[in-house]
Amino acid sequence: METIEQAIKENRAYYCLDCGKCTSVCPISWREPLFSPRTMVEATKLDTNGAVLHDGRLWMCLTCDRCTQICPSDVHFIDFVRDMRILARGASEEGHCSHGATIQTWMRMMADPSLKQNRLDWLTDDLITAEESDTVYFVGCLPHYEALFGKIGAQGVEIAQSAVRILNHLGIEPIVLADERCCGHDLYWEGESDTFRQLAALNTEMLRATGAKRLVTTCAECARTLKMDYDLGMEVMHMSQLLAQNESQLPNSISGKVTYHDPCRLGRHLGVYEQPRQVIAALGLEMAEMAHNRGRAVCCGTSAWTHCGPTAKSIQVERLREACAAGAETLVTTCVKCQIHFRCALDDPHLHDELNIEIKDLTTLVAEAMEVVSANG
Amino acid sequence: MKKGALIVGGTLAAVEAALDLAQSGITVTLVEQSPFLGNVGLDWPQDGDRGEHEGTARLLEAVKHPRITLMTNTQVIAVHGRKGSFHVEVERTPRFVDLAKCTACGDCVDVCPIAIPDNGRTRKAIRGAVHGAVPDIFAIEKRGVAPCKATCPGGIHVQGYVALIAEGRFQEALDLIREDIPLAGVLGRVCYHPCEDACRRGTEVDQPVSICALKRFVSDYEVEHHGRPVVESARIDPELGRVAVVGAGPAGLTVAYFLARRGIACQVFEALPVAGGMLAVGIPDYRLPPQVLQREIAAIEELGVTLHLNHPVDAEDWSRLQREYDAIFVGVGAHQPRRLSIPGDDLEGVLPGVDFLRDVNLAGIKGAKPPAVGENVVVIGGGNTAIDSAMVAQRQGAQQVTILYRRSRSEMLANPWEIEEAEEEGVRFHFLASPLRVISDHDHGRIVALECIRNALGEPDQSGRRRPVPIEGSEFTIPCDTLLPAIGQTVSCAFEGLDLDRWGSFRVDPVTLQTNLPNVFAGGDAVIGPASVIESIGDGRRAVESIIRYLRGGDLTQGRTAERTDISSIDYYTPTEPLVRARVQMPHIPPEERRGYEEVALGLTQQQAIAEAERCLSCGVCSECLACVYVCDPAAIDHDQKAERWVMDASAIIWTDAAGPTPPVTRGNIYELHGDDPLVASAVAAQAMADLAAFRQKRPLPRWVPFDSDPRIGVFVCRCGDRIGEVLDIDALVEAGSARPGVFHSQDLPFACQPDGATTIKKAMADHNLNQVVLAACSCCSLDQVCESCTYQRVRCKSNLLSVPFDLMNLPAEFVNIREQCAWAHRDDPALGTAKAKRLIAAAVAKVGLLHPALRAPRKVADLDGRVLVAGGGEAAAICANALRAQNFAVTRSPQLPSAVNGSLGRFSVAQNGAIIETSVVVLAPTDEGESAQIAPRSGLFVCSPIGDAELTGAAVAAKVGAALGSGRVVARHNVAYVDPSRCRACGTCEKVCEHLAIQVGEVDGHPIALVEPLLCQGCGVCAARCPSGAIAAGYSTDKQIEAMLEAILGE
């Protein structure tokens, strides 16, 4: 990505009709009147000096893809934003990173080819993995998140352990890489494309070397990135997709009323809406859909650890209120970041009484259900 | 006069009490008799909760507190008056080190030659604080002027040079001697050394230190190693005045020497063909080799003094000198021999001893024939001239030399050792006999015999010696062909207009040596009659001081006295186990070999000199060797400091263990504070607080300097004398500083922590219109607090800057520690140290260039009223309530603990029995530990612990309440946290981590947001570190500032 013109052209921004449908569905625009996808596109087309690159609003977009879905002219707005961010970085701009940029820092560290990691200490003795297998399980940053967000109850390692347990249950002994790198999703969407490419090259080489035919991941963002932004030469699927394929082997062992939050990456980006719902139903749970579901689902409020703030919190609280209003006891999601963001919002002591809901990852939910079965003999 | 409290004795408890009182708005003076606080005979807590570093930080808090005045080296002499209006007489003894200048570098300790045994170790006469005592400013332990120096007419720093010799620092010793006298080699041979008579080693242990021989040793050592004396010279400045000296004897030479060293031109006129006066013509060569004298005179000439020999000053010259010179010194000596005044005293063969000695000496110089002597030589007199005449006569070929003295041996004025030498060489003594008549050979007119009469000793005369009384009929005759009378000399000169006394000596003012002509001064033998070299030299020094004052138009008498220093009341130091070593014996040529004029006394070896010098008892502890003065870069040492006494007023007095027994007072009482327990300290402070409640002063409003322009930064780099400067390239740092963006001025400072440093910064700020300062010195942080690694110098530096008219905390000066972090850490690699300092300075400049908007706002201030709720059933509650009422607080008492406490200092709302009580402070007194455990700490809430002495606890808590409430005002810190509303997600993380309840999620315009209460915020930054969205900035550095600092560091 070299020029603004290129970004406009490649992402069909010239086709914008200035109709404003994008802005009308944008959860940021609902709260921040000065932010508008339509205005950004139009401003970029009129701007010849590149001032848009220095406009802080460029970093507010969640790239949730609600706008693109509704656009009658098929303007690829989120890709346009990503490309513009790549250009903005070239102009020494960057978004405001949460958590003191800790997460971006570890991602950059992983881009170093000489880095030697030991990522497998979380594998307990009962979990079976293999050196060679048709299936590779891609863990992603789960253990890192556990370290950073364990204090607000976020699951990380537990998701990974549940994933291997489920795979074993399905008769699969997956390969798990000791030196796997971050998929690079966040850096890519923040415009740090060089680092993303380094991470992608390292991962691609390692994954191809396994000879596996299929990659399973428990993260919606890893799934999107590995499938759409990598060229691995193997099938990439989210755990929910694999589980749906093996619905018959799922235990109908738990009960309760849950709702499902569609992560942007798994839903609008990859079009996976029904498989998680299938799995939830198979486990014996009652589904209480939120008003905004599937393609109309609203993002968890923050993307790529950038530009968190009152707007993000407001989106999260609104989404949690929606889940409560649906009558759900538990909000199930298939993306660890959605889980972290919702838990962070729930951690607000002033909201404890109002928002009485649990947050769970689908993978751990399934593992729990299996646990119930084995406990009952 | 402000009503205030006086705390006597600098214990830790005293400091705690002082802080409580000062924080409650009361003015406190804390006096400590030793040079250090927290170091006064009390055991410092070594382990446990109150470690020494915490103690140091508390002491520095007291140093920093504007309402506390600390006075070290100060003790209470007497207390008059009564409670409420004490008048306290205090005395401050000198520390000899300037509290505003010393940087505690320790160079002085390295050079101090005095090491005193101290509990198995040694301490130097100049010493710093130990165990973290404060102030960390050196102090000199000085008992007083040692007897040797006090006795020396020349005022030589005797103990000082002896101490330096003991350390083998011979040239330093000689340089020190030359600060006081010009002729070390001469005095080392011929001085009558009254210092040795006064030496306490002699009077109290065994024999005196051989001081004179030591002086000769260092002088000889220099000649041996450098060939000649090397004296530090000054540039002669004709503008300073022109001085004529009449007479090149010891007095005149001394005047010329000191004036030349002060840059004043001097012309010396001498009647004889040789300079030195009596030293040249009165003292025989075997006692004072002429080359010793002449090389020391040559050294004086090298200073720029011009000698005019063979130049007697006649009447015409005299009037010319008066016209052409600004001042004249007359030191013509006393060369006129007294006549015997007996029949035949004018016969050939009668030659006054002093003339005889002169002729022999001059013969050696001019190559002339020396005066002849006969076989039987009789010398009359009992002084040194008599002895010398006798011994010279012997060397000139006399067969038998007899000294005739009218009194007995013990009345002789000659030095005893000289008498012994004469006896060794075979000179006969005939005591208690006076000459009556010279008997001559009538044919030739030559003398053949001397008729004498025997004496008995009668009553003492004016000189204190017993008067000789002739015994009737005891006449006798002794053979004599040469008679050398040596019975004294008088002054033989007179100058027009100069008054003489009845003995023919010049009349002068005894203090200034000024004659009746204001521009003419006189001294030496010409004034005091025939005396000693050292007395003449002493006169010379005295005259120099007068002449310099005269030339500058100053008062000649101010601060001067003719009195000797009174040393009778000095408590001298004596080692508990003085070194056992006998006085060194100076080797001499054996008597039988003494026939020529080669020097008789042979001098000491190096080993002998050191061993002898080590015998010194160090009476004064500090020897005043002045080595510390020479080495001290900041010029912090002042050996001339004097003790001061004054009377101060105090309304209440707290007396600690470090102050000795409590003095009696007429009415009321003095509060005693024992031990080091802070609880006790507060309890005692509470009593004084009650006495002084009416005199509390409201805490002043903080200054606020608004920022209305872009940063204009000044960079100041401290050299710390050479402590930083000798390692880092300061010029490069100054230049690098000036090249940074936003910097409008950059300069170095010799000492940032001295008052001059602050003045320089202030002036530069005004001259260059600066609004930001980066100070690269030894202070690390820019916060208004002290920590365990802080020092007196850093606190002083910041205090000095605050005296500059800006509030440090509202116009941040950014401090960079280039001393420890660069100069000291990289002493081995100065280039690396300099590079690092450049980076740190660049970072600081980048930081202040991005001053956060929150810092541009004025600090929040709130007034406090005196409402206190004391609740709970604990035993201390009633005691505390009473103590608070005594402080005039409005106390509400409740027997039960409240059901809920909300708010904080100044704005509590407490639920009590269904009612809500509004109060400024809450004191809770739980009945047991169970109740106590349920109380959560918060600002403005005080707890009377149910454990321990209730009386003590109740009073101590009352003092803490007084400290919080007494000044009537709270002021927010300058560095409170700041929340960016556009980023705060009101998650409550900050609220959970803040220990001070200073940040809470609230609402602004209906939107939830974290709100900071500036009055509670301590600026610790924990909230900023934990905020997930980066919405909070710790007041002292925002993320942007940290990024800018890193960029500056990495970019350098």
A236 in the same domain as A108: yes
Rounded CA separation B717/B750 (Å): 9
Which candidate from A100, A308, A349 shows the least CB-CB separation from B985?
Answer: A308
Q: Do A20 and A81 fall into the same domain?
A: yes
Same domain, B516 and B442: no
How many separate domains does chain B show? 7
Domain identity same for A277 and A363: yes
Query: When comparing pLDDT for B66 and B737, which is higher?
Result: B737
Domain final position from B965, B991, B1009? B965
Mark yes or no for CB contact A350/B986 under 8 Å. Answer: yes
* Cβ-based contacts of A93 with chain B (< 8 Å): none
Residue B293 CA to residue B276 CA, distance in Å, equals 7
Q: H/E element holding B961? A: helix B950-965
Task: Tell me, yes or no, whether A227 and A280 share the same domain.
Answer: no
ipTM: 0.83
CATH number assigned to the domain comprising residue B37: 3.50.50.60
Contacts of A35 in chain B (CB under 8 A): none
At B453-481, the pLDDT tens digits run 999 998 888 878 888 999 999 999 999 99
Task: Answer yes or no: are the C-beta atoms of B504 and B490 closer than 8 Å.
Answer: yes
Q: Say whether both A126 and A235 belong to one domain.
A: yes
Match 């100053």 to its residue by tokens: B554
Q: Identify the residue whose tokens are 């940032």.
A: B752
Domain check: are B480 and B497 in the same one? no
Q: Which of B985, B991, B1008 sits opposite A312 (nearest CB)?
A: B985
B986–chain A nearest CA distance, Å: 7
Q: Do A260 and A239 share a structural domain?
A: no
Residues of B in contact with A98 (CB under 8 A): 1028-1030
Which amino acid is present at A206? M
Span B88-97, average pLDDT: 95
Q: Give the model's pLDDT for residue B344.
A: 87
Residue A182 sits at the chain B interface (C-beta within 8 Å)? no
Among the partner residues B987, B992, B1030, nearest to A313 by beta-carbon distance: B987
B357: in domain: yes
Nearest to A347 among B987, B1031, B1039 (CB): B987
Q: Are residues B471 and B425 in the same domain?
A: yes
Sign of CA dihedral B537, B539, B545, B551: negative
Asked if A348 has any chain B CB less than 8 Å from its own CB, the reply is yes
- CB–CB contact B1028 A98 (8 Å): yes
pLDDT in tens, B248-291: 999 999 999 999 999 998 999 999 999 999 999 999 999 999 99
Task: With respect to residue B559, please indicate whether it lies within any of the assigned structural domains.
Answer: no
Q: Determine whether the interchain pair B985/A349 forms a contact, defined as Cβ–Cβ distance below 8 Å.
A: no
Predicted confidence band of residue B162 (pLDDT cuts 50, 70, 90):
very high
Q: Which residues in chain A are closer than 8 Å to B994, comparing Cβ atoms? A: none
Would you say residue B816 lies in a domain?
yes
Banded pLDDT at B812 (limits 50, 70, 90): low
pLDDT score recorded for residue B667: 80
A53 and A23 together in one domain: yes
Quote the CA–CA distance of B174 and A337 in Å, as a whole number. 83
Residues of A (98-157) whose Cβ lies below 8 Å from B: 98-100
Beta-carbon separation of A97 and B1030 below 8 A: yes
Q: Of A215, A244, A273, which residue constitutes the final position of a domain? A: A244
Give how far the C-alpha of residue B750 lies from the chain's centroid of Cα atoms, to the nearest Å. Answer: 20
Does the pLDDT at position B48 exceed 70?
no
Asked whether residue B349 falls in the same domain as residue B430, the answer is yes
Distance CA A110, CA A108 (A): 5
Cβ atoms B391, B427 nearer than 8 A: yes
- Domain of B845, CATH number, reads 3.40.50
The tens digit of pLDDT for each residue in B759-777 reads: 999 899 889 988 889 999 9
Same domain, B765 and B739: yes
Q: How far apart are CA B280 and CA B288, in angstroms?
A: 9
C-beta atoms of B988 and A350 within 8 A: yes
- Whether B639 has a pLDDT exceeding 50, the answer reads yes
CB contacts of B1028 in chain A (<8 Å) are 98-99, 308, 344
Q: Are residues B547 and B606 in the same domain?
A: no
Residue B586: which domain range? 147-230+573-613
**Residue contact A309–B987, C-beta within 8 A:** no
A8 half-sphere exposure, CB direction, 13 A CA radius: 18
Interface contact flag, A310 B985, Cβ < 8 Å: yes
Strands B915-919 and B908-912: antiparallel
**Domain identity same for A357 and A259:** yes
Q: Which of A327, A270, A317 is nearest to A295 (CA)?
A: A270
| Among candidates A96, A100, A313 on the partner chain, residue whose Cβ is nearest the Cβ of B985 | A313
Q: Which A positions 262-281 lie with beta carbon below 8 A of chain B?
A: none
> What's the number of domains chain A is made of?
3
Contact B992 A349 (CB under 8 A): yes
Asked whether residue A71 falls in the same domain as residue A148, the answer is no
- Shortest distance between the Cα of B779 and any Cα of chain A, in A, equals 28
Of all residues in chain A, the one with the smallest CA distance to B1038 is A100
Within a domain: residue B638?
A: no
**B856, B879, B897 — which closes off a domain?**
B856
pLDDT computed for residue B833 by the predictor? 97
Nearest Cα to Cα of residue B1044 among B780, B844, B792: B844
Strand partners, B870: B893, B923
CB B304 within 8 A of CB B236: yes
Q: What is the pLDDT of residue B46?
A: 42
Asked if residue B1030 has pLDDT above 60, the reply is yes
Helix or strand (DSSP H, E) at B58: helix B52-64
Distance (Å) from the C-alpha of residue A338 to the closest C-alpha of chain B? Answer: 15
DSSP assignment letter at B658: G
**pLDDT tens, residue by residue, B824-878:** 999 999 999 999 999 999 999 999 888 766 566 778 899 999 999 999 999 999 9
Among the listed residues B900, B999, B985, the one whose alpha carbon sits nearest the alpha carbon of residue B941: B900
Within this chain, do residues B533 and B579 fall inside the same structural domain, yes or no?
Answer: no
Nearest to A347 among B984, B988, B1025 (CB): B988
Question: What residues 969-1008 of chain B have any CB closer than 8 A to a CB of chain A?
Answer: 981-989, 991-992, 1001, 1007-1008
B1023/B1013 Cα distance (integer angstroms): 13
Position B630 in a domain: no
Mark yes or no for CB contact A308/B1028 under 8 Å.
yes
Give B89's pLDDT tier (boundaries 50, 70, 90): very high
Is B991–A345 a contact, with Cβ atoms under 8 angstroms apart?
no
Q: What is the pLDDT of residue B803?
A: 56
CATH number of domain containing A57: 1.10.1060.10
The reply to whether B486 touches chain A by the CB within 8 Å rule is no
Place of tokens 């402080």: B887
Looking at A186, A214, A244, which one is the last position of a domain? A244
How many other CB atoms are there within 10 angstroms of residue B25's CB atom? 22
Contacts of A96 in chain B (CB under 8 A): 983, 1029-1030
Cα separation, B218 vs A309, in Å, equals: 81
Helix/strand/coil for B1048: helix
pLDDT at residue B807 above 50?
no
**Is B1008's CB within 8 Å of A310's CB?**
yes
Looking at the fold, whether B516 and B411 belong to one and the same domain comes out as no
- What is the nearest CA distance from A286 to chain B, expressed in angstroms? 31
Please report whether residue B217 resides in a domain: yes
- Predicted confidence at residue B54, as pLDDT, reads 66
- Assigned token pair, A226: 């590995």
- Flag whether residue B660 sits within 8 Å of chain A, measured between CB atoms: no
A127 and A85 within one domain: no
* Contacts with B933 (C-beta within 8 Å, 6 or more apart), sequence order: none
Q: What range does the domain containing A340 cover?
A: 252-375
Question: Do B369 and B429 sit in the same domain of this protein?
Answer: yes
A-B C-beta contacts closer than 8 Å:
58
State yes or no: pLDDT of B44 exceeds 70: no
A97 touches chain B (CB under 8 A): yes
Neighbouring-strand partners of residue B774: B715, B814
Decide if A350 touches B, using CB distance below 8 A. yes
Q: Are B243 and B547 in contact (CB under 8 A)?
A: yes
Q: Which two tokens stand for residue B324?
A: 């052409």
B445 with B530, same domain: the answer is no
B882 by Cβ neighbours in 10 Å (0-12 / 13-18 / 19+) ranks as middle
CB contact under 8 A, B1001 and A350: yes
Q: Provide the 10 A C-beta neighbour count for residue B716.
A: 25
| Regions in chain A scoring below 50 on pLDDT | none
Q: CB distance B1029–A98 less than 8 Å?
A: yes
Over its C-alpha atoms, chain B yields an Rg (Å, rounded) of 39
Residue B855's pLDDT is what? 61
How confident is the prediction for chain B on average, in pLDDT? 90
Residue B200: which of B141, B138, B260, B144 has the closest Cα? Answer: B144
Asked if B603 and B656 sit in the same domain, the reply is no
Q: Nearest-CA distance from B788 to chain A in Å?
A: 29
Q: pLDDT value at position B609?
A: 97
The proportion of chain B whose per-residue pLDDT surpasses 70, expressed as a percent, equals: 96
Tell whether A46 and A125 lie within a shared domain: no
pLDDT at A48: 67
Question: Most A CBs within 10 Å: which of B979, B980, B987, as the mutation test of the A interface?
Answer: B987
pLDDT confidence of residue A130: 96
Residue bearing tokens 């971050």:
A182
Residues 6+ apart with CB under 8 A from B490: B334, B336, B338, B503, B504, B505, B529
Six token digits for residue B502: 């009845």
CATH number for the domain including A302?
3.40.50
Judge if A45 and A179 occupy the same domain. Answer: no
- Same domain, yes or no, for B470 and B365? yes
The identity of residue B566, as a single letter, is D
Token digits of residue B311: 């130049």
What residues in B contact A309, CB-CB < 8 Å? 982-985, 1029, 1031
